[in-house]
Structure 1
Amino acid sequence: MEFKLSAGEAATLVRWYELSLNRSERYGGRESYVFPQEEWLVNKLKKPDASASFDELDLEMMLGWMKDALFPQPAANAVYFPGEEALALKLKALESQKESDAPVPPEKVEKARHTADDLRKKRRPKS
């Protein structure tokens, strides 16, 4: 299974990675060990390459960063930066696709993105 990410999604993932590193240093660890695969993936995300694709191992690392960065786990009243909620839904859809080995139709991913946008609009306070 391969998938692609937009530049904004890649930037969000890099931010989640940096947050997970900072959190591990804050809670007792003086040094964070960076695995070579993580370093390679972060460098790949930082380069704006439209032809870059990602695989299941990359997805596992991305899901780990997401779970570290969005602590406590995403909830109905959680506050997200722009694009985070849609990316979280996209990664979860890819994870369920990987688990079921059935392809997720693009219209289902697009529907999840629109649903996230609608929820975000409802949560914004009216001024």
Structure 2
Amino acid sequence: MSTKTESFPVQKSEAEWRAVLTPEQYRVLRGHGTERAGTSPLNHEKRDGIYVCAGCGAPLFSSEAKYESGTGWPSFFRALPGAVGTRIDRSFFMVRTEVHCATCGGHLGHVFPDGPPPTGERYCMNGVALVFRPKEE
């Protein structure tokens, strides 16, 4: 996993990550795993707010960019400026663009070029890697 050689503003040891994440969050965020499609409660989240990294709390996506992609994972057509980084993922005998938190390096999901206007991008994110923070009324 390449996040071990990259440097991010938030750094923790494996033991520290395991202490603050659930086993499933650790598997996805630190182990580049994927949650099962259709299992995230965030798929049905319709309120205004911000989606933050479950690992470090950094803001990643606005609810204004969320849409129903039909894939079974929370999907967004745009990330917040500077919030995510990408790298080539050659796992499973295919080439995809992996998305990670720019603050802690946690694996979030992948971005594909088949999203809606205005960007044409589909950030297909693991819901377990995100926490929804509703907008205060």
TM over 0.5: no
The structure having more radius of gyration, on CA atoms, is 1
Between Structure 1 and Structure 2, which shows a larger proportion of helix residues? Answer: 1
> What TM-score does the superposition give when structure 2 sets the normalisation length?
0.25
Normalized against structure 1, the TM-score is what?
A: 0.26
